[in-house]
Amino acid sequence: MMCKYLIHYFSGTGNTYHMVKTIERELSNRGNEVDLLNIEKYKDIKLVNYNLHIFCFPVYGFGTPSIMLRYISSLKAEVGCNAAIVCTSAGAEGQSLNHCKYLLNKKGFKVFLTDMVVYTYNWTQILNPQSKEIEERVFKDAEANVIEITKKIINNETYIKKTNIIILILSWPIFIIFHNLARRILGKTFITDDTCISCDKCKDICPAKVIYMYNGKPRWKSNCESCQRCINICPKASIQLSIIKLAIFVTLELVPILIIMDINNYIYHLPIIVNMILYCIMFVANTIIANILISIMEKVGLFKKIFNISYTKKYRRNIAKGFNIK
């Protein structure tokens, strides 16, 4: 019996897109009708027109990308649509599958399958991507895994991937910090070196629309997804991590810890909850101060050159073969 599938997906640098295209191929080869929906190009759709929905996304900070969370919050299944969730990760899904399953169930979906596929990491802002040889091997293994998962989806086989309870507990605070603060800070540490040709490509392909042009050069607002698309897709490999910007953020975020330690050691020993509240307040305040300080320094020629100090220039850029963001 032919079924009609809708794959809702977000892909930062192409790993998830590769998975989605494999799922589409396997479903189509068995006579099913498949539509792909890139959530960056979201349009109003009739969910009831599809027998089954598949949600695909990469894992960021041991959780679901904020762009996917916002998209899910906009949906409402009218008659309990069946759904599957398949994420991509460099090795650990954290709490993403559990969180996404919970949210989709609340929206009226009936999630019968959750699983994760291992791909290469593309966090070029921090780590040098793996070699082409490793990438080819990982993609080959990933494709075989995706085919097996697709068979389960076609057969409506119930499978909920189990996550170690310790990993689940530990991944939640990491995700909360990443989702609310870390991704925003990391976005502000991007710079472009002297090879930038002002082509606007990074601005045009940014899924969060946080890149704007200033004097012909890109700058980043503070709502970055940390998807790494801009640094990996830049035609001149001009986008780098600024060591100085990162150092400013790290230094200012350490100040609250030192202040709280002094208060507890020399003035009054405060309860743990009070220390946590104080730290959160000062952390947010110092993040704002760091943003303002960097914005001012970026307008001074001397500081602009200092900001260009980086270690990512020689890093390999990594976009999955055939990646299409349209």
Q: What is the pLDDT of residue 1?
A: 67
Q: What is the mean pLDDT of the chain?
A: 91
**Structural domain boundaries of the chain?**
4-169, 245-294
Least confident interval from 42-46, 68-72, 91-95, 212-216: 42-46
Q: Label the pairing between strands 82-89 and 52-58.
A: parallel
What is the rounded CA–CA span in Å between residue 56 and residue 8?
A: 6
The closest alpha carbon to 290, from 247, 257, 241, 242, belongs to 247
pLDDT band, residue 326 (cuts 50/70/90): low
Q: Which two tokens stand for residue 86?
A: 């398949």
pLDDT tens string 273-285:
887 888 788 888 8
C-alpha to C-alpha distance for 199 and 218, rounded to whole angstroms:
10
Per cent of the chain over pLDDT 70 is: 99
Mean pLDDT for 47-64 is 95
pTM of the model: 0.91
Q: How far apart are CA 93 and CA 95, in angstroms?
A: 6
Tell me which CATH homologous superfamily contains domain 4-169.
Flavodoxin domain (3.40.50.360)
SS3 annotation, 61-95 = CCECCHHHHHHHHCCCCCCCCEEEEEEEECCCCCC
Q: What percent of the chain has pLDDT over 90?
A: 69
Radius of gyration of the chain (CA): 22
Query: Which residue shows structure tokens 């330690």?
Result: 261
Rounded to whole angstroms, the Cα distance separating 213 from 228 reads 18
Q: How far apart are CA 273 and CA 225, in angstroms?
A: 30
Q: What is the pLDDT of residues 86-144, one digit of tens each?
A: 999 998 999 999 999 999 999 999 999 999 999 999 999 999 999 999 999 999 999 99
Residue ranges in 88-188 assigned as alpha helix (H):
96-106, 132-154, 165-177, 183-188
The answer to whether 237 touches 196, Cβ cutoff 8 Å, is no
Residue with the bigger pLDDT between 46 and 83: it is 83
**287 or 70, which is more confident:** 70
